[in-house]
Structure 1
């Protein structure tokens, strides 16, 4: 049963018949319950679309802590998750009986600042991965340092790891130790920089991409 808030003319929360009331970012919303459709024979196209949706959703879920920073400036009336989904959906396609990713075009951020340029990766024999980059648009905003965030995505899309506040943008380099789950695979790395002010202002860079074999 739904409950009315702020009198008869106010919004309500909960389920009333086929309608559900909720509140998001201070705004009361109404939505209808989804119609349950039972299908015994699901088309191949529908199964392929489900597979694409599942993999896109998994990618964004794995990177959710970074997505909340990287897509905040462009989310507006959407959640950061939905904004990230819309930006990445077309880069997951179903081919040859499985989902493939267009790794270089995946995005974890969509801001007004230029991306990290000239990203270079080196891996030593002890498993230390060093990331170097060139100049950035800004290194500080109102006394607050811009921080670099990193996401490592394994080539089979079955493992990932996030690094929040890995280094200052002004450091021009950072190091991470490869985990056992990363070794023996091709790794896709995504990096961007921003300040905590990115939650209210557009101090977020676009996403930089690089790859390296960890075999």
Structure 2
């Protein structure tokens, strides 16, 4: 792959012979197309592709949230989504073809803000009551930090993203009626009010919706 400088006719984008022109982060690139392989994929390659496809399928619905959640300035050579994939891929459990996502190792957000450790219970009305410690540390948190809850129904593979509370509230309540039945996995994450800072996401665990 090579970086190139625009000529008199401007930058080139697209395919020309065995060369492809593209742009990433305002940088123009030329790269050659890979030569087709006549060799059959090895068992290891097939397993890796299956594992990679599982991770992409799992994270892709949250791509927009992940792109906001990995907004630290120290790793700009890789997209936020690719960093989330890189983190999760080696942690996938099981053997081909029975791979599974280790939900407690999923990282949907990364940053220096203080995380919260929510306690989630289901009340008599069926709502999810969520509580956390609202204590503020001036070095790593603010009272008006936005609190996010990310919920994933393992049976339906649907995600639900909620943001109704701030750190100082210390509590929130969510009606799970639209989430269907199944095992519900729950993560939390925190963002500064202006969105410039994030916390690491935190996995609460799961509960069963009937």
TM-score (normalizing by structure 2): 0.81
Count of residue correspondences: 201
Q: Distance in 2 between matches of 1:36 and 1:115?
A: 47
Q: Distance in 2 between matches of 1:80 and 1:91?
A: 18
Structure 2 matches for 1:53-202, cutoff 5 A? 53-73=52-72, 75-95=75-95, 97-117=97-117, 119-134=118-133, 135-136=135-136, 137-139=140-142, 145-156=144-155, 158-179=156-177, 181-183=179-181, 185-195=182-192, 197-198=194-195, 201=196
1:159–1:181 Cα contact (<8 Å) kept: no
Query: What are structure 1's unaligned runs of at least 5 residues?
Result: none
1:148–1:167 Cα contact (<8 Å) kept: yes
Distance change >3 Å, CA 167–CA 34, structure 1 → 2: farther
Distance change >3 Å, CA 147–CA 46, structure 1 → 2: same
TM-score (normalizing by structure 1): 0.79
**Aligned to 1:63, what secondary structure does the other structure show?**
helix
| Deviation at residue 66 of structure 1 after TM alignment | 1.6
Distance change >3 Å, CA 127–CA 75, structure 1 → 2: farther
Determine which of 190, 195, 204 is the counterpart of 1:210: 204
**Aligned to 1:82, what secondary structure does the other structure show?**
helix
Distance change >3 Å, CA 196–CA 83, structure 1 → 2: farther
1:5–1:13 Cα contact (<8 Å) kept: no
Q: Distance in 1 between matches of 2:171 and 2:11?
A: 51
| Deviation at residue 180 of structure 1 after TM alignment | 5.3
| Deviation at residue 5 of structure 1 after TM alignment | 8.3
